[in-house]
A and B are shown apart, each in its own frame.
Chain A
Amino acid sequence: MRDARGDVRRPIGLRLWLSGGWLALLTVAALCAPWLAPKDPLMQDLFLGRMPPFWMEGAEPGYLLGTDSLGRDVLSRILYGARLALIVALVAGTLTCVIGATLGLMAGYYRGWTDRVISRFVDIWMAFPPVLFAILLIAVLGPGLVSIIIAIVIIDWTRFARVIRAEAMSQGAMDYVASAQVAGRTRFGTMLTEILPNVLPTIIALLTLEMGIAVIVEAILSFVNLSISTDSPTWGGMIAEGRTSVHQAWWVLVFPLITLFLTVLSFSQLGEGLKDRFDPVLR
């Protein structure tokens, strides 16, 4: 039995390190983009359009990962795109988490009318196709970083509310919660001291997961041309461009796609790994 457990634990550690490592790398890239990027990400040079990456024939020195149809450096655009992606991940992820988890905790612990109202809203939200909802909101709010963040919070708070509500409900039914209340704590105090710590592992896992989702939503919005202004470098925008010229210049699609893929994978694996690590039952 002990051996079987060991087998399970090892990949968790590896998973945490790999995903954490990639995200750390990305953070450095985002922070140091102006120094790391070999070119100006916005600089166009129509004579250098669709240059292949360095190992292929006809590559232009200095453009490591090639150029897009307007002659912009793919590597530099990826590095600068990391800035927007990470800002959206951090800010939108955290805000969504705080709002959604609070509502979920209240619904699950207070029950009664609070629960009924919040749950009804969750039901209505679940009946919206999320991508369409996001696009609609951006159309209303107008493009821009703040709009994207607001849209993500509005669409995705239900993800937290649903899960945390269920967890808070099962925790609230436990004897130790009842005894804390008998001991004279207020309901709100009990919620913070008894319920919250027990649902925290789930919240953390959901939060990292949500960061990955935020990055994807931003990419999708850029893809349909509704993110921030069209010329600032975003991964989604690069993918949209790459999609149209995939037969002539695959690298314009492949490199931002790999970056996005690894980032989303890292966020979700980090979430899973952290959840296992923090879960008192598994530990």
Chain B
Amino acid sequence: MSGFLSIRNLTVHLRGGGPILRAVTMDVAPGQVHGLVGESGAGKSMIGKAVLGTLPRALEITGGEIWLDGVDLLALAPAARRKQIGATAALIPQDPLTALNPGKRIGPQITRRLVDILGWRKSDAEARARDLLDEVHIPDPVRVMRSYPHELSGGMRQRILIASAFAAEPRLIIADEPTTALDVTVQKQILRLISDMQTRHGTALLFVTHDLGVVSKVCDTLSVLYAGKVVENARMRRFFMRPIHPYSAALLAATPIYTDPDRGLTPVPQTVIDAVEREVEHHDVRAGA
């Protein structure tokens, strides 16, 4: 296995229905940031959910392997799998407004799992939470830890969720569109914060987004997803200089910063989309045979 997280031929189906992910293969190296790019509906969030074991009940994993820190998660019993995931990975969710339990104070929401699952002493966990909140630039952490989520702004809550994700020093963090739900002005700060935290803690990061511009700023490697299939795995520099897959090239042309300002934006041409559709269908036929 070449990555800390290695996904091999992961296939996910709607129960009694069609495929959602088709033989997805990708690697996230230790301490590196890997971007996962695709249009909405391409299934990129489902990859993160499959890794973390939170796929909706309507979906089921029908094939493939997910290796996390040298262990195939899909070969583990559910309880052991939960434990392995809880100990090595964490999630920065998309919407900070709904990702904190409205009925609990902030402090316990960060510390409880350290105490419950990882067996920390309560005082240690609280000290850790204070340090982390400080690290994500939250003023007066002691007061914030006593607050309820509804007393804090969206940006504050996202910082708290970031701090919480790093609390147990996970070796992989999955960030699922962590800035989409925020104001444009806050987006940049949060992005920089995630990037800084990742560098400082040396955590591997799987960054799920539809925004190629964001990927270019923070990622080392990336995968491009189209209709549940990875069309390209690449290092960042190579990808932006010379995308191999026509869909990647078209996607790049449709992203503002890489387009000649005089020419304006180029939408992904229909011919490219048709070509990819054919390719995906071809894959289905092969998989079915």
A3 to B58, alpha carbons, bound, how many Å?
12
With contacts defined as CB atoms under 8 Å apart, how many contacts are there between chain A and chain B in the complex? 4
A64 to B224, alpha carbons, bound, how many Å?
79
Any A CB within 8 A of the CB of B56:
no
Contacts of A3 in B (CB 8 A): 16
A262 to B101, alpha carbons, bound, how many Å?
45
Contacts of B58 in A (CB 8 A): 1
**At the interface, is chain B mostly helix, strand, loop or mixed?**
loop
A274 to B251, alpha carbons, bound, how many Å?
52
Any A CB within 8 A of the CB of B288:
no
Residue of A nearest to B17 (CB): A1
Interface string of B40-64 (1 = CB under 8 A from A): 0000000000000000001000000
Contacts of B17 in A (CB 8 A): 1
A271 to chain B, nearest CB (A): 31
Q: How many residues of B contact A (CB 8 A)?
A: 4
A1 to B18, alpha carbons, bound, how many Å?
11
Residue of A nearest to B16 (CB): A3
A1 to B58, alpha carbons, bound, how many Å?
9
A5 to chain B, nearest CB (A): 12
Interface string of A1-20 (1 = CB under 8 A from B): 10100000000000000000
Q: How many residues of A contact B (CB 8 A)?
A: 2
Interface residue ranges of A1-52 to B (CB < 8 Å):
1, 3
A3 to B14, alpha carbons, bound, how many Å?
13
A263 to chain B, nearest CB (A): 39
Interface string of B1-24 (1 = CB under 8 A from A): 000000000000010110000000
B38 to chain A, nearest CB (A): 24
Residue of B nearest to A3 (CB): B16
Interface string of B221-234 (1 = CB under 8 A from A): 00000000000000
A1 to B17, alpha carbons, bound, how many Å?
8
Residue of A nearest to B58 (CB): A1
B20 to chain A, nearest CB (A): 13
B133 to chain A, nearest CB (A): 43
B280 to chain A, nearest CB (A): 22
A200 to B22, alpha carbons, bound, how many Å?
47
A1 to B56, alpha carbons, bound, how many Å?
13
A230 to chain B, nearest CB (A): 57
A3 to B16, alpha carbons, bound, how many Å?
9
B60 to chain A, nearest CB (A): 14
A84 to B17, alpha carbons, bound, how many Å?
54
A210 to B14, alpha carbons, bound, how many Å?
43
Interface residue ranges of B187-219 to A (CB < 8 Å):
none
Contacts of B14 in A (CB 8 A): 1
Contacts of A1 in B (CB 8 A): 14, 17, 58
Contacts of B16 in A (CB 8 A): 3
A194 to chain B, nearest CB (A): 35
B59 to chain A, nearest CB (A): 12
A234 to B32, alpha carbons, bound, how many Å?
81
A140 to chain B, nearest CB (A): 50
Residue of A nearest to B14 (CB): A1
A3 to B17, alpha carbons, bound, how many Å?
10
A42 to chain B, nearest CB (A): 61
A4 to chain B, nearest CB (A): 9
Interface residue ranges of B100-134 to A (CB < 8 Å):
none
A1 to B57, alpha carbons, bound, how many Å?
12
A218 to B19, alpha carbons, bound, how many Å?
58
Interface string of A148-186 (1 = CB under 8 A from B): 000000000000000000000000000000000000000
**Among all A-B residue pairs, the 3 with the closest Cβ atoms:** A3-B16, A1-B17, A1-B58
Instruction: Give 4 pairs: A residue, B residue, CB < 8 Å, sorted on A.
Output: A1-B14, A1-B17, A1-B58, A3-B16
